[in-house]
């Protein structure tokens, strides 16, 4: 189950949030075996985040994945995600940062596997 958290200091509309959910849900399928059916997204807008000492629009994206994927797969995902975020939020690519963490196991439904 991939989990993606988006944090931004920009206020997003409900329509933008729905578009983010839908678009990122499609992009997650770039990772073999992942699908929108097991995808979770958390969107936090209007956060108090200063970027380069100012209140410039910015976004921090964190993706948690179970398993390991190639650098090429992760690079392609980050490139496509960044393009989509620019289109949807108008936050420049230079003001977006993405981290990806991979785990061998995690708990789900009371079972750690």
Beta carbons of 14 and 61 less than 8 angstroms apart = no
Binned at pLDDT 50, 70 and 90, residue 33 comes out as very high
Q: Alpha carbon of 94 to those of 55, 82, 105, 106: distances in Å? A: 15, 9, 33, 32
Domain count, the chain: 1
65 located within any domain:
yes
pTM score over 0.85: yes
Domain carrying residue 100? 16-105
What mean pLDDT do residues 100-110 have? 95
CA dist 106 and 65 (Å) reads 10
Beta carbons of 102 and 67 less than 8 angstroms apart = yes
Q: What is the pLDDT of residue 76?
A: 99
11 located within any domain:
no
Q: Average pLDDT of the chain? A: 97
88 located within any domain:
yes
Beta carbons of 35 and 19 less than 8 angstroms apart = no
Question: Which CATH number characterizes residue 65's domain?
Answer: 3.30.429.10
């Amino acid at each position: 189950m991939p989990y993606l958290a988006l944090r931004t200091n920009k206020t997003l509309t409900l329509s933008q949030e729905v578009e983010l959910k839908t678009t990122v849900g499609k992009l997650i399928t770039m990772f073999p075996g992942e699908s929108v059916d097991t995808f979770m997204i958390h969107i936090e807008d209007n956060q108090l985040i200063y970027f380069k000492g100012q209140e410039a629009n910015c976004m921090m994206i964190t993706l948690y994945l179970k398993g390991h994927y190639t650098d090429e797969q992760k690079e392609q995902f980050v490139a496509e995600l960044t393009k989509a975020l620019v289109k949807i939020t108008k936050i420049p690519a230079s003001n977006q940062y993405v981290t990806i963490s991979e785990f061998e196991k995690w708990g789900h439904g009371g079972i750690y596997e």
